[in-house]
Every structure is written in C-alpha cells, then in structure tokens.
Amino acid sequence: MLRRTLTPSARRGKSFGHDPVANAPAWRGAAHESPALTASPLPHAPSLRDWAALILLTVLWGSAFAFIKHGVQSLPPSALIFVRIALAATVLTGWAIARGHRLPALRDPRWFWFCGLGFFGNTLPFFLVSWGQQHIDSALAGILVATMPLATIAMAHTLVPGEQLTVRRLTGVVVGFFGVVLLLGPAALSDLGGRDVWAQLAVVAAAICYGINAILARLLPDTAPSVSGAGMLICGTIFAMPLGLWDLAHLVHVDGTAWAAVVWLAAGPTALASLVLMQVARTAGPNFLAIANYLTPIAAMITGALIGETIGWSAMLALAVILTGVWLARKPAAPRADG
C-alpha cells in the first residue's frame, strides 16, 4: 500500500479541503525525485477538460479502425503492431524529454507498472483484436469490445477507491452497451458462438485487457502522463518485438499508403491517445475513461456522415440510447438529507 507523507504545511492545506499531492507538480524528474513514491490523487468529478479529453480519445480511437484495415492489407498484423508501438514510443519519449522530464531509472518500481500497462494496454489486446478480426466481422468485434466498461466497473469496484459500483452506474453501462448493439446492428449477434467462438473470446479478452489497463493507469504511482505513456509504450515495444521483427524480416513489398497509415496510427491513436489516456485515468478515474468505448462508434458514425454516408433512424435511435446510458453512468448522486 502506498502512503502519502504530509509535511506540517501540507497538513494545514489538507485541513482546508486541499490535497497537497494533487496540487503539486505530477513529476519533477529523477534529479528531484523523492525516494518514496506517492499515490495518484483521488479522481474528481469529471470537468469540462476531462470531457474534452474523452472526446479527443474517442475521435483518435474511432479513426484507428479504417487505418488498421488499410494497413493490414499489405503488412502482417504483428509487423504493423510492432512498428506502430515503436514509433509511438519514440514520439512520446521525445515529447517527455522536450517537456523537461526524464524516464525513471531502471531500478524504479514504476517500470513494473509500465510493463503491465504496455502488455495489457497495447501488445496483448492489439494482437487479440487483429487475430480475432481475421475470423469475425467488424460489427461483432465492435460489440464484443464494448463489453470493456462492464469489466472495468466490476474491477474498479474492488480495486479503485472512490469507484464503487452503484445501481445507477451499472444501469447506465448496460444501457450504453445495448445502444452499441443497436448502432452496429443486432444481426451481428447472430454470428455469436459457433465455429469462430475462440476468435470471439479473443476479442472479449482484449476488452478485459483494456479494462485492466484503465485500472493500472489509475493506480499507477503519481507520474507525469508523458512519462507514464512513454514508459508504457517502450515496454509494449519490447513485448511486440520478437514477432514484429520476424515478420518485418520476411516482408516482400509494402504499399506506401500502408506505411502512411502506420505513421498516423503511431502518432494519433497510440502516442497522443496514450498521453490523454494517462491524464484522464489519473484525474477522472477508469469508469469515466471506459465511456470512450461507447462514444467511439458515434465518432465512426459522424465520420461516415461527413464523407457522404446516410445515417438511418436506427442509428439516430442508437445514438440517443448510448447518450442516455452515458448520462445515467455519470449523473451525480442525489445528496442525502441529514438527520
């Protein structure tokens, strides 16, 4: 258990309702690092900035599907994943250094956290989804990935202070899930089970991995988002390296547009998204972060409308159901009357 040691001045600040750890700089670099790790501040009610960050995450993750589909046409999935994570790690590490941060020393216990984040947040789910989508349709995969908030609220109830499961929150998550099913098409569930059950379970396992990643990002000892994001991607690169290098060594020809797709996947949905993810998980908590899985199909729908696709009434109804679920999940609890 990580404990926060308060100085006398910090205790005075806390007596007036201020959290000195939350108000202090997130991470000052190795030269100014305290020997004892501090826990991240407890999540607060999502602010306008948190909602803006969540919408940005939704757009970034929503754009990834089309670029992945294009990239894997000439790049093996393991090669794409390795190059994507490696480029993202380079970008985010450079950004952290430019911001005046330094990565922790290798003996720093936060590297164990970074390994967990890199494995459960990048390498393993990327492989599971890529393998699963070779056997099942994208619509069914989207529905199965949308089980992530259900897994997240169950784990957060036990593991994360301040993220207790309530009837209202559970109702909102379930309503949001049914909204995703309605948006992607209930007919997609007709393929549930059958001979591709292992591919379906792989995608569900990826959703659970994303939930674990959100929990780890919240419980990570207090660290600047750029540093934790870079550490996560560095570890993810190492995990993806064996298969990735093997496939890269056996490439014959790769279309130039496929490499362009990988560059965007690295810069946007991976590097920038990792930075935003770490910030949102730290300030607003994993249950709030999980809402992005419901909003991502909406971003895909809006993108389709912008390029001329027709949006039917069923899609509009699904949008209303999803937003209702989000409202229920995030609606503040009514204050209790005293006495």
Instruction: Note the pLDDT tens digit of each residue in 238-289.
Output: 999 999 999 999 988 888 888 998 999 999 999 999 999 898 888 888 878 8
How many Å apart are CA 277 and CA 213, to the nearest integer?
10
Confidence of residue 307 (pLDDT cuts 50, 70, 90): low
Task: Give yes or no for residue 16 having a pLDDT over 70.
Answer: no
Straight-line distance from the first to the last Cα atom of the chain, in angstroms, rounded to the nearest whole number = 35
pLDDT of residue 275: 93
Q: Where are the domains of the chain?
A: 45-330
pLDDT tens-digit profile of 34-57?
Answer: 334 555 555 567 788 888 998 898
What's the pLDDT at 305? 64
Whether 229 and 173 have beta carbons less than 8 Å apart is answered as no
**SS percent in the chain: helix, strand, coil, step 5:** 75, 0, 25
- Res 118 pLDDT > 90: yes
Sequence-distant (≥ 6) Cβ neighbours of residue 290 within 8 angstroms: 148, 149, 152, 153, 173, 211, 214
Residue the block writes with tokens 């790769």: 254
Q: What pLDDT score does 272 carry?
A: 95
Of the two residues 154 and 90, the one the predictor is more confident about is: 90
**Main-chain phi, psi angles of 109, to 5 degrees:** -65, -15
**Of residues 38 and 146, which shows the higher confidence score?**
146
Instruction: Look at residues 283, 265, 213, 231 and name the one whose alpha carbon lies nearest to residue 95.
Output: 231
Share of the chain above pLDDT 70, in %: 73
Q: What is the chain's mean pLDDT, rounded?
A: 77
**What is the signed CA dihedral for 186, 192, 194, 199, rounded to 10 degrees?**
130
For residue 268, the tally of other CB atoms under 10 A from its CB is: 18
Higher pLDDT, 120 or 317: 120
118, 236 Cβ separation under 8 angstroms: yes
What pTM does this model have? 0.73
Is 224 strand, coil or helix? coil
Write out pLDDT tens, residues 52-81: 998 898 888 877 777 877 787 788 889 999
Name the token pair of 217. 């990002």
For the segment 172-193, the average pLDDT, to the nearest whole number, is 73
